[in-house]
Amino acid sequence: MKRVLVANRGEIALRIMRGCREAGLEVVAIHSDADSSAPHVVFADHAVLLTGENPLQVYLDVDGLVQVALDAGADAVHPGYGFLAENASFARAVEAAGLTFIGPTAATIDQMGSKTEARTLMQNAGVPVVPGYQGPVDDSGAMGAAAGEIGYPVLVKASFGGGGKGMRVVRSPEGLVEAIESAQREAKSAFGDSRVFLEKFVEGPSHVEVQILGDGEGGAIHVGERECSVQRRHQKVIEECPAAWINEETRQAICDAGVLAAKAVNYRGAGTVEFLVERNGDFYFLEMNTRLQVEHPVTECVYGRDLVRAQLHIASTGTLPFEQHELVARGHALEARIYAESPEDGFMPSIGELLRVEFPSGPGVRIDSGVREGMEISVHYDPMIAKLIVFAETRERAIEKLIVALGDTVLHGVKTNVGLLQRICRSEAFADNAVHTRWLDEEGAVLWEGVKPDLMMALAAWGASQRTSSGPSQDTGASASPMAPGIWKTIGGWKMSEGGLS
């Protein structure tokens, strides 16, 4: 490989490009009009403007992206995550054009894209799976009998897709038919496929995932596990490596199961096998993500390995970059996802210009971001601004470091979840490793209750917006009121009290 087209944008595009450049490879960026001056575009050796119906669709044009890669003289394509990363048609099109797809084969993506097929494959390979039913759903009698045999509560789950869509928890026989029909409608709308199946609903599990690497010929290793139970509506918020609460016996069993899963599908490249883990140590296969994960940096910190470079090595040589015995964990790493969103307003995305951006630095602090000051957070893309990663000798020190680093993060112009992230890190449940996958949804309201924008930050942001949006000054003989209506929109609800701003 000499030149890689990165079929993505934002922080993951920039992350991949850095790995490519360190490996001596040229990189080609793609971008919409909205991303013309984005950091990943500026960093790349070559950049190609994509045109289409809207800024989102241009990143999803399979044939168009393959043609761009060919025209740019690329000999490989890295999909990153999101967009087309787990699209088997894209992987096939890339390889049909004579290019290297830096990821698993299309056949593996297809197999793991179907949750029902993945369950069957894993079960046959000896990987523990949640008890379930994958028969016809149009027979309400059969579904009812299966649910009764599994035992309520049960989970109705879409066969394709993710992110919590097409999922319904059913706690009694009376709600089963309605839940199936509702899940089918949502799955059809979100994924174009209405098929669903039943699983036993595991109460209060932890989400532990195993980082795997495979050579595509049946060889596979693991790079430890990650704990990802702090989630909101099935979307991860804080991730860490290792999972500090599990014992060594359980850790080894989960990692072995991850390798077994990788070997079962002749996995190629970097992937993740996700498990639901109960506090007694029982665990069940959840799904396999056939791509690099958002949270891969915590594994890199603890194991001292560059996973993007590992992907490039496998894609170019067909061999694993290291052996299992060479991988040794040290210390603890945490990652917090910083979003442009308003926790106090139902986590609505916050759009607007980033008027001021200052990220923390120092020993053990890493920022993966694809934004810069002056950029617009738009409605077209995911509102994640950055990933803040910290590394320390122990989990306790890593938490302390993350709290300080979040406090040193300055983002003006949009609302963010930084305050919520700090509160999570300071919570007793998080410190005690007592969280589970529904903890934030069920008990987390107190964490964001009363979170308000800082008055001085809001004033600064409002003042900057007035300067940047007004353009060249004109002497009209009148001056703008310092308390123009726009400031109240920026600040949001607040009041002065004896205890200060609330």
Q: How far apart are CA 289 and CA 296, in angstroms?
A: 12
* Cβ neighbours, 10 Å, residue 367: 16
Single-letter amino acid, residue 224: G
DSSP 1-49: --EEEE---HHHHHHHHHHHHHTT-EEEEEE-GGGTT-HHHHHSSEEEE
Q: Is 291 a catalytic residue?
A: yes
Helices (H), strands (E): how many in the chain?
A: 18, 25
CA atoms within 13 A on the CB side of 2: 3
* Pair 91, 113: CB distance under 8 Å: no
Instruction: Measure CA 191 to chain center.
Output: 18
Residue tagged active-site, from 119, 168, 232, 291: 291
Kind and range of the H or E run holding 411: strand 410-412
Q: How far apart are CA 30 and CA 183, in angstroms?
A: 36
* Pair 199, 130: CB distance under 8 Å: yes
Phi, psi of 498 (to 5 degrees): -60, -30
416: Cβ contacts below 8 Å, ≥ 6 apart: 338, 339, 340, 341, 350, 385
Euclidean distance between the first and final Cα of the chain, in Å?
57
Structure-block tokens of residue 218: 């049946």
Q: Residue 73, by phi and psi: left (phi above 0), alpha (psi -120 to 50) or beta? A: left
DSSP assignment, residue 164?
T
* Pair 127, 255: CB distance under 8 Å: no
Q: Which residues of 201-231 are buried (b: 16+ CB within 10 A; e: fewer)?
A: bbeebbbbbbbbbbbbeebbbbbbbbbbbbb
Q: What does the CA dihedral 44, 46, 51, 54 come to, rounded to 10 degrees? A: 0
User: What is each CA distance from 413 to 179, 263, 464, 501, in whole angstroms?
Assistant: 41, 48, 9, 20
Single-letter amino acid, residue 221: I
DSSP assignment, residue 408?
T
Q: Which residues are catalytic?
A: 291
